[in-house]
Amino acid sequence: MSQKEFVKPVGLETPYRLFNLGGTAFVESKQGDDLDIMPASWNCPLDYDKMTVVIDSTHYSRKLIEASEYILLAVPGMGIQKEILYLGSVSKNDNPNKIADSGLKFFTLPDCDFPLPEGCSAWAVIKLIREPHNEKTYDLFMGQIVKAWADSRVFSNNHWHLEEGPDELRSMHYVAGGHFYAIGKRVDVTL
Amino acid sequence: MSQKEFVKPVGLETPYRLFNLGGTAFVESKQGDDLDIMPASWNCPLDYDKMTVVIDSTHYSRKLIEASEYILLAVPGMGIQKEILYLGSVSKNDNPNKIADSGLKFFTLPDCDFPLPEGCSAWAVIKLIREPHNEKTYDLFMGQIVKAWADSRVFSNNHWHLEEGPDELRSMHYVAGGHFYAIGKRVDVTL
């Protein structure tokens, strides 16, 4: 069964929650047929419907992002851990066949211009809010979430319930050198 | 035994790693004797030695931060989950005794002007990089890590080894409404 069958739209009131666990994200960008994907640990909600992400000027993705002014952010899971590391280790500057070589698979949705990577728990289309000073000085990009989806086995009604889905969808939190931690157990705190 | 005995300085080459797991952080601020602490999920590395954090203008902390231009960022663990939720639920605008009422404990270090909250895995003193447009428009603050420490049971030689320390030090990743996930198992990926 394809993951696509579990993917449901997420409302745009509080879509930051898709990224609030703080794991490594995929940044997908494209201009015409030219597609790139890179993992970015330095992604963060900026508001209920806005995100920041740091994208170094040396990355192939950077020119696609600045030209198209849209990115797809996604939250990759444990099940595609090798794909995450490969996509973060190889630049499309060096290997134009990077994405095929990574083994990452995709599905499509009728209302999304980006191919959506399989093995993620959440996806969001982000329209850049251009802030040239932040981009030039800090490699920091800001954007508005304009569409969002999640795998309904682990996220629905604006809440994560990772414990009800496959462990392959648990987010990956990067340290360095191929060393990650997966997100762990649910903790419900009451005062 | 006090946690203080395990706390070691962290070098300033790659101190972002203290925050790279993406968990909820404490933001501590002070002006004279006026101290505030609030949890902030929206914290993120901006560079190897720089951080961003979103601090809404309604927070009591905000005026302390703008006046002193320094904050302490810390990574609270599972063992102080009620303190995290309390400090995020009660404003010092409403309860001037908030910090004492939270039950949070502190230790001091000779080379740190901030009291350091116990039950955290990492602490960093951040000097603001003032960017008035970002502060006013997005409530986004940027800063340079100028001093850092970690609990050596779970972080040393610039790497996390949470699996070797007490689970009480595992980072907490917020969803909403008292619902968190703790960071989970270590995953070492090779290509």
* Interface predicted TM-score of the whole assembly (ipTM), two decimals: 0.97
pLDDT on residue A136: 98
Average pLDDT in the A153-171 region?
Answer: 98
Which CATH architecture describes the domain A3-182?
Roll (2.30)
CA distances to A41, A60, B22, B125, B126 from B10, in Å = 20, 33, 18, 11, 14
> What residues in A contact B131, CB-CB < 8 Å?
133-134
Closest CA to A71 of A60, A62, A59, A79: A62
> What residues in A contact B85, CB-CB < 8 Å?
189-191
Per-residue DSSP letter, A61: H
| A116 Cβ contact partners less than 8 Å away, ≥ 6 residues apart | A7, A72, A74, A106, A107, A108, A109, A123, A149
- The DSSP line for B6-57 is GEEE--SSSGGGGGTT---EEEEEEETTEEEEEEES-EEEEETTEEEEE--T
**Single-letter code of the amino acid located at B69:** E
In our burial notation (b when 16+ CB lie closer than 10 A, e otherwise), range B68-80 reads bebbbbbbbbbbb
Residue A1, pLDDT above cutoff 70: no
Residue A49, pLDDT above cutoff 80: yes
Q: What percent of chain A has pLDDT over 90?
A: 99
Tens digits of per-residue pLDDT, B17-64?
Answer: 999 999 999 999 999 999 999 999 999 999 999 999 999 999 999 999
> What residues in A contact B47, CB-CB < 8 Å?
54, 138
Q: What percent of chain B has pLDDT over 70?
A: 99
Q: Flag if A175 and B17 touch (Cβ within 8 Å).
A: yes
A84: tokens are 């995450």
Of A81, A175, A183, the CB nearest to B173: A183
CA distance B134 to chain A (A): 9
Using pLDDT thresholds of 50, 70 and 90, give the confidence band for residue A173.
very high
Optimal mutation site among A82, A138, A161, A175, interface B, most CBs of chain B within 10 A: A175
Tens digits of per-residue pLDDT, B87-113?
Answer: 999 999 999 999 999 999 999 999 999
> What residues in B contact A178, CB-CB < 8 Å?
188-191
Residue A25, pLDDT above cutoff 90: yes
Tens digits of per-residue pLDDT, B157-181?
Answer: 999 999 999 999 999 999 999 999 9
Average pLDDT in the A101-105 region?
Answer: 98
> Where exactly are the structural domains of chain B?
3-182
Q: What percent of chain A has pLDDT over 70?
A: 99
Tens digits of per-residue pLDDT, A115-152?
Answer: 999 999 999 999 999 999 999 999 999 999 999 999 99
